[in-house]
């Protein structure tokens, strides 16, 4: 028994260190004092089974892993400075990790069946037109073009990145209300990835975040355009655009190019500049963000990057975002989060897989319901839709 406690303690400490978390983080997460965590790690106190479960989900391992002789691999890697992670964020990480663990469970049940092959990308394409030459040094631009192609979009049109994401094989998409520090997460999960988006952000900001996570999915630490990884790997992304480490900056640049292709944006700006003597003003800013479906922050970040706007102009356009659009006659939904009942939902592969397992009799109805409830789909379990309420269109 003593050995077991010491083993669990050592594993918890090792996983905590590797995830860049401190004892206070775990204390807040488990709702205990910091001294209790310290005693756990030194093997002086035992964890309740509930705590063992919570810790294993947080680190993306099984409870058995926590008891094992050798330290299991934690899946967490973040792009936030450690002090920016709070106890409440660990709840979010766990909620998303739970979905990844459930996916593992469901996949194991399907073993022996054919799993769609991993994606192999074409090798680096060269930029072509004159407008593109300006960005030819920018690897991110080339990558954004490759991903557009892969998603079935052309090179210049505005895209609805959430709709297009349904064409990505085996992708699970989770909307989850996260803290104001986070924008989203990406879990590379043995070829069955999960992307989670902070649903309390504005719709325009969520789209940018989705595009940012696609960078992690396709390019970050892996072969280009493949998202198969041997082990589970979770990346947590901060809220501010253009900040953070080099990978975060690259992902933001990629997202910007994916949603606002240089060839399209520069054309629109040329048109504006030829028609307006005073250059870009608020009506053009609103028009551009509505055209591409991105947030003000995302557009201004790009216009500053392209040196279309000065810092002083950028600051001015950050004010009164919703009012400026409403007064110009635009719908304001781009600047608002989803309605509350849609802020916590899972879509895509996970839901399909649960359905498939039930149909094949590989899981019980009870297990199916549990899997759906843990992925925030009580609407499917309890059938919130009223019969006959569907609109004919």
Q: Is 251 in the site for Zn ion (CB under 5 A)?
A: yes
CA distance 163 to 169: 13
* Residues that contact Zn ion, how many (by CB under 5 A): 4
Applying CB under 5 A, the span of 76-84, 151-159, 263-271, 384-392 interacting with Zn ion comes to: 76-84
Q: Is 237 in the site for Zn ion (CB under 5 A)?
A: yes
Applying CB under 5 A, the span of 48-56, 73-81, 196-204, 353-361 interacting with Zn ion comes to: 73-81
Smallest gap from residue 251 Cβ to Zn ion (A): 5
Smallest gap from residue 212 Cβ to Zn ion (A): 6
Contacts of 193 (CB under 8 A, 6+ apart): 168, 170, 171, 172, 186, 187, 217, 227
Contacts of 25 (CB under 8 A, 6+ apart): 16, 85, 86, 87, 90
CB closer to Zn ion out of 37 and 237: 237
For residue 259, what are the CA distances in angstroms to 169, 197, 291? 21, 16, 10
Applying CB under 5 A, the span of 31-39, 83-91, 97-105, 233-241 interacting with Zn ion comes to: 233-241
Applying CB under 5 A, the span of 104-112, 143-151, 201-209, 230-238 interacting with Zn ion comes to: 230-238
CA distance 96 to 202: 20
Q: Is 286 in the site for Zn ion (CB under 5 A)?
A: no
CA distance 368 to 380: 11
Q: Is 85 in the site for Zn ion (CB under 5 A)?
A: no
237, 79 Cβ separation under 8 angstroms? yes
Smallest gap from residue 357 Cβ to Zn ion (A): 32
Q: Is 8 in the site for Zn ion (CB under 5 A)?
A: no
Structural element, H or E, at residue 76? strand 76-78
**What residue ranges bind Zn ion (CB under 5 A)?**
79, 237, 248, 251
């Amino acid at each position: 028994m003593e050995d077991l406690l010491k083993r669990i303690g050592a594993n918890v400490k090792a996983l905590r260190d590797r995830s860049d978390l401190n004892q206070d983080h775990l204390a807040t997460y488990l709702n205990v004092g910091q001294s209790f965590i310290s005693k756990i790690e030194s093997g002086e106190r035992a964890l309740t089974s509930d705590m063992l479960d919570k810790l294993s989900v947080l680190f993306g391992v099984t409870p058995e892993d926590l008891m094992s002789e050798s330290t299991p691999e934690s899946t967490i890697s973040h792009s936030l400075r450690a002090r920016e992670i709070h106890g409440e964020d660990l709840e979010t990480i766990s909620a998303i990790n739970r979905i990844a663990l459930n996916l593992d469970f469901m996949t194991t049940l399907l073993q022996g069946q054919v799993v769609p092959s991993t994606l192999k990308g074409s090798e680096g394409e060269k930029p072509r037109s004159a407008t593109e030459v300006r960005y030819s040094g920018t690897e991110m631009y080339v990558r954004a073009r490759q991903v557009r192609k892969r998603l079935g979009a052309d090179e210049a049109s505005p895209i609805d990145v959430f709709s297009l994401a349904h064409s990505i094989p085996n992708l699970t998409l989770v909307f989850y209300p996260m803290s104001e520090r986070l924008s989203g997460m990406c879990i590379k999960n043995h070829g069955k990835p999960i992307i989670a988006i902070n649903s309390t952000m504005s719709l325009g900001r969520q789209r940018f975040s989705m595009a940012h996570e696609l960078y992690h999915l396709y390019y970050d630490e892996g072969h280009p355009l493949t998202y198969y990884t041997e082990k589970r790997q979770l990346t947590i992304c901060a809220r501010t655009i253009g900040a953070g480490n080099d990978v975060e900056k690259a992902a933001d640049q990629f997202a910007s190019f994916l949603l606002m292709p240089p060839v399209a944006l520069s054309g629109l700006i040329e048109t504006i500049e030829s028609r307006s003597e005073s250059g870009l003003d608020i009506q053009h800013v609103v028009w551009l963000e509505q055209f591409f479906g991105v947030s003000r922050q995302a557009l201004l970040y790009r216009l500053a990057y392209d040196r279309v706007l000065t810092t002083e102009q950028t600051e001015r356009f950050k004010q009164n975002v919703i009012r400026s659009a409403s007064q110009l006659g635009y719908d304001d939904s781009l600047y608002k989060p989803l309605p509350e009942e849609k802020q916590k939902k899972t879509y895509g592969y996970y839901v399909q897989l649960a359905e498939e397992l039930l149909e094949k009799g590989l899981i019980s109805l009870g297990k199916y319901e549990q899997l759906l409830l843990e992925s925030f789909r009580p609407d499917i379990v309890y059938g919130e839709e009223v019969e006959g309420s569907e609109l004919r269109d």
